[in-house]
C-alpha cells in the first residue's frame, strides 16, 4: 500500500503513482544481461506492486522492443494504467540516435507507437528531445494536431531548456516535463522546475537513482563490463566515483534506521521534493522494480530528510553531462 496519494498529470485528470516504471533498460541496448522473459516479468511485477504508470519511447529498442512488450503485458489491464511514450528520436543506419522533430516524423512515430502498443490513444506523448534543426514551436504544431485529433490525451516535453518549454507551450499545452534529476544532479531547481510549477506542468524525473549508483549496490572496487554504458559518465569515474561512494556511506546509517534499502530511501526522498510529481525507476528484472516500488510505501521523517539534505550539501554537485534517455 502506498503512503502517497496518486498525483495528477498536469490538469488532465489522469492520476498516477509517484513511482513509475521506466522502460528503457528492458530494451537491452545499454543494459547487459537483458532477456525478453525477464523484461516482461518486470512489467508485470511493477503492476503487481501497485505501480500504474509506465514510461517508454519510440527509440527504446532498435525495433521498438520496449513499446511492444509494454503493450503486450499491459493490454489486459489497459483501463488500470497510464502509458507514456515519446517520439522525435529514431535510430540511424549506424545505430546512432537521430533527433528529428519535423511534423511528418512526429506523426509517423506516433502512428507506429500506437500500433506497437496496441492502443487507440496514447495517454501522455512526449517530444523526446528538441531537434536542433527544427524550431521547437514547429514540432509543437504536430503535437497540437495529435492532441486535437484525439490520438494522444496529453503532451509532454523531455530534455529541454526553459525557453524551449515556453516556446512549445505557446503552441501546444504541455502537461508534463521529463528531465534528469537526483540527489546530486539538481540543475532543474534553478529555472525549469519553478517554470513548471507556475504553469501546472508535472515534472517526471529520470535517473533518480543516478543510473543505479545511488542504489548503493556497486562497491568501490567495481569494474564495469565493457558493454556497460555507464562507463562513459564522469559520475562513475575517478575522484567523482570515490566522492559518490563517500556520500553513499553517509546515507547508509539513515537507511539502516528506517529499515529500508538505500534505493528506497533515495526514491522516497525524491518524491518528497517540492514540484517533483513522479520518479521513473528503470528496471530490467522483477526484483529490482519490487524493491524500488517499496519506496512509496512509507515516508522519511522531517529529521531524516534534513540529515539527507546536509549530506547532499556536503557532497556538492557532481560533474554533469547532457543526457537523453
Which of 154, 161, 155 has its CA nearest to residue 193? 161
Give phi and psi for 122, each to the nearest 5.
-95, 130
Which residues face 16 on adjacent strands? Answer: 7
Is residue 62 among the annotated active site residues? Answer: no
- Quick check: 106 and 78 in contact, CB under 8 A? no
Which of 273, 50, 108, 83 has its CA nearest to residue 176? 83
Q: For residue 113, give the C-alpha cell.
A: 507507437
Count other Cβ atoms within 10 Å, centred on residue 80: 9
Choice among 60, 125, 206, 233 that is catalytic: 60
**Three-state secondary structure of 277-289:** CEEEEECCCHHHH
Q: Scan for cell 495517454, then name that residue.
A: 123
Contacts of 137 (CB under 8 A, 6+ apart): 167, 168, 170, 171
C-alpha R_g of the chain = 19
Q: For residue 41, give the C-alpha cell.
A: 516479468
Report how far residue 72's alpha carbon sits from residue 116's, in angstroms, rounded to the nearest whole number. 9
The helix (H) or strand (E) run that includes residue 177 is strand 176-178
Q: Write out the catalytic residue numbers.
A: 60
Amino acid at each position: 500500500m502506498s503512503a502517497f496519494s496518486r498525483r495528477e498529470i498536469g490538469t488532465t485528470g489522469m492520476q498516477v503513482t509517484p513511482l513509475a516504471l521506466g522502460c528503457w533498460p528492458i530494451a537491452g541496448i545499454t543494459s547487459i544481461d537483458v532477456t525478453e522473459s525477464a523484461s516482461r516479468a518486470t512489467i508485470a511485477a511493477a503492476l503487481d506492486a501497485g505501480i500504474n504508470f509506465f514510461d517508454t519511447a519510440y527509440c527504446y529498442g532498435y525495433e521498438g522492443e520496449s513499446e511492444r512488450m509494454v503493450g503486450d503485458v499491459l493490454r489486459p489491464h489497459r483501463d488500470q494504467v497510464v502509458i507514456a511514450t515519446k517520439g522525435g528520436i529514431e535510430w540511424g543506419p549506424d545505430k546512432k540516435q537521430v533527433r528529428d522533430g519535423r511534423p511528418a516524423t512526429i506523426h509517423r512515430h506516433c502512428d507506429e507507437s500506437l500500433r506497437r502498443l496496441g492502443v487507440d490513444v496514447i495517454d501522455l506523448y512526449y517530444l523526446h528531445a528538441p531537434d536542433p534543426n527544427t524550431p521547437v514551436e514547429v514540432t509543437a504544431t504536430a503535437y497540437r494536431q495529435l492532441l486535437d485529433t484525439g490520438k494522444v490525451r496529453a503532451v509532454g516535453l523531455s530534455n529541454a531548456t526553459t525557453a524551449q518549454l515556453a516556446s512549445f507551450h505557446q503552441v501546444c499545452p504541455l502537461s508534463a516535463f521529463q528531465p534528469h534529476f537526483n540527489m546530486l544532479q539538481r540543475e532543474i531547481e534553478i529555472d525549469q522546475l519553478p517554470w513548471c510549477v507556475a504553469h501546472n506542468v508535472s515534472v517526471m524525473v529520470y535517473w533518480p537513482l543516478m543510473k543505479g549508483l545511488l542504489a548503493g549496490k556497486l562497491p568501490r572496487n567495481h569494474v564495469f563490463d565493457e558493454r556497460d554504458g555507464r562507463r562513459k559518465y564522469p559520475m562513475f569515474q575517478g575522484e567523482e566515483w570515490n566522492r559518490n561512494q563517500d556520500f553513499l556511506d553517509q546515507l547508509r546509517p539513515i537507511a539502516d534506521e528506517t529499515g529500508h534499502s538505500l534505493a528506497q530511501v533515495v526514491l522516497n526522498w525524491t518524491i518528497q521534493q517540492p514540484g517533483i510529481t513522479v520518479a521513473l525507476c528503470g528496471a530490467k528484472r522483477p526484483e529490482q522494480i519490487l524493491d524500488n516500488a517499496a519506496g512509496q510505501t512509507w515516508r522519511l521523517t522531517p529529521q531524516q530528510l534534513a540529515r539527507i539534505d546536509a549530506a547532499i550539501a556536503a557532497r556538492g554537485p557532481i560533474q554533469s553531462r547532457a543526457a537523453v534517455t
